[in-house]
Chains A and B, each alone.
Chain A
């Protein structure tokens, strides 16, 4: 896939091929906060169509999740970016993809994540007077560690652990 090769060239973006039959996604991307806009511009150049922007509440970080698909070839890209639970800020892509405007407002409504430089962060779906009410934030007894839910973060943890072991043995 052309997009996978192009994404691999970006240093702050970790792109791997995903197992389509079980996940419904072809390319799985994990990126740093500062790379969101670079990633969005690149994927815009490749003529991708924006499907959704959403978030997942978890420990220790929240995850913002983007889905893109291509209108001409079968290729879905899922991009993840981690947002600290205490900071809750993420760069906007609404100027690159105007369709993300509403999705980002919805994420702010449900999770309280503020998208920097977004033209209008007022509540969209929830009432305007309930700015601090975020229904999709998990309660303390329900919240899970990111790697317990998402396989993508399991390997990293294992790698880290093995790296640490290496240090110890040295």
Chain B
């Protein structure tokens, strides 16, 4: 006699992705579900793997620079900043002009705002709200126009060089940036009115995906994810680099620990980035944008670890050099990789629709995870 399976013991295996819209790229999550509840969520990554670390060992430092922007297409400039700072750390005699360092920070912060706006639109899209992305892309477009004017690119920026930046800005551009800062400040209340107070939105994100301080440290979460759990860890302040010590800005945190906490932190960060941009434009010194003497061939020896705050968290470049022109080993520590690894523990027993909210609140960029 064939035994009928007991429906109460049955679990459903569901493949979310790799082409699911809310996985933002080619991420696949294998779900074991009991009805609407997730028993186990196992992310499967590597669909967009390009082995950037091996390419880094084959090319010289400058040759590899173009690759770093391809990892995190949302915030390419901070990836470039980290790489250039790591290489410059190996060249202690190189003096980077102050103007170049200011321009690096201004463009990186503009890029951070653009990245957060992209996240905002996509997050709301995941939750079923179509309208906000149209507004956020409008503002993002203004940033991309500004960045295109100075870097020549709109997505995978390769603006920085060892010893400076490749192009100077003029007064018109600075005025354009200040105009954008003003415009963005005026728009923020509109966003909050449109989304942040919305009851449907709040019900979807409040008390969903609670990450405690201990969990965040164990999993190595960084960026808005750790700050949304009340830990003020931001590489720009915790491990100051570039000109950030000279600027006045706060590290927003939230004690909520849930998706709403991470949402609040990102919005507060946009405001802080605007503050940084405004100050940096006001302080922007005159002078060259490239160091006078930059070695044509970079032959370094030794190892460096350079951390910077990317839009999604702490980004680290570990470069070990044996004295030849290319690194012996290059490791890129990307923030989303550690942030996503928490998903399995975080989503045990939650609703399928909450899983989408949790993944959206991480601001995942899959090419960055796959590298």
**Using Cβ atoms and an 8 Å threshold, which residues of chain B touch A148?**
322
Total of A-B residue pairs, C-beta within 8 Å: 122
Contact between B222 and A49, CB atoms less than 8 A apart: yes
Proximity string of chain A (106-142) to chain B, C-beta cutoff 8 Å, 1 when within and 0 when not: 0000100000000000011111000000011000000
Q: Could you tell me the distance between the alpha carbons of A67 and B90 in the complex, rounded to whole angstroms?
A: 19
B218–A97 touching, CB < 8 Å = yes
Interface contact B226-A71, CB-CB below 8 Å: yes
Rounded to whole angstroms, the CA-CA distance of A36 and B130 in the bound complex is: 50
Chain B residue contacts of A110, Cβ below 8 A: 53
**In angstroms, how far is the closest chain A Cβ from the Cβ of B70?**
16
A31 contacts partner chain B, Cβ-Cβ < 8 Å: no
| Neighbour of A124 across the interface among B46, B217, B218, B231, CB < 8 A | B46
Task: Select from chain A the residue with minimum beta-carbon distance to B217.
Answer: A49
**Closest chain A CB from B209 CB (angstroms):** 16
Contact B217 A47 (CB under 8 A): yes
Q: Give bound CA distance, A97 to B220, whole Å.
A: 8
Which residues from chain B contact A74 at a C-beta distance below 8 Å?
Answer: 238-239
Binds B, one of A8-16, A51-59, A82-90, A160-168: A51-59
The answer on a CB contact under 8 Å between B222 and A24 is no
Judge if B362 is at the interface, Cβ distance under 8 Å. Answer: no
A136 contacts across to B, CB distance below 8 A: 53-54, 57, 329
The answer on a CB contact under 8 Å between A98 and B345 is yes
For A11-23 the 0/1 string (1 means CB < 8 A from B) is 0000000000111
Asked if A69 lies at the interface with its beta carbon under 8 angstroms from chain B, I say yes
B233 lies within 8 A of A49 (CB): yes
Looking at the assembled complex, report how far the CB atom of B181 sits from the nearest CB atom of chain A, in whole angstroms.
30
Q: How far is the CA of A78 from the CA of B319 in the complex (A)?
A: 13
Query: How far does the Cβ of B201 sit from chain A's closest Cβ, in whole Å?
Result: 30
Residues 73-106 of chain B: 1 if any A CB is under 8 Å from the residue's CB, otherwise 0?
0000000000000100110100000000000000
B242 CB to closest chain A CB, in angstroms? Answer: 14
| CB nearest to B51 among chain A residues | A135
Chain A residues with CB under 8 Å of chain B are: 21-25, 44, 47-52, 54, 56-57, 65, 67, 69, 71-72, 74, 76, 78, 97-99, 101-102, 110, 123-127, 135-136, 144, 148-151
Q: Knowing that A52-B333, A98-B218, A98-B342 are A-B contacts, what are 19 other residue pairs whose CB atoms are under 8 Å apart, sorted by A's residue number?
A: A22-B90, A22-B92, A22-B304, A50-B338, A51-B220, A56-B329, A57-B329, A65-B318, A65-B331, A71-B231, A78-B305, A97-B218, A125-B370, A136-B57, A136-B329, A144-B322, A149-B303, A150-B320, A151-B302
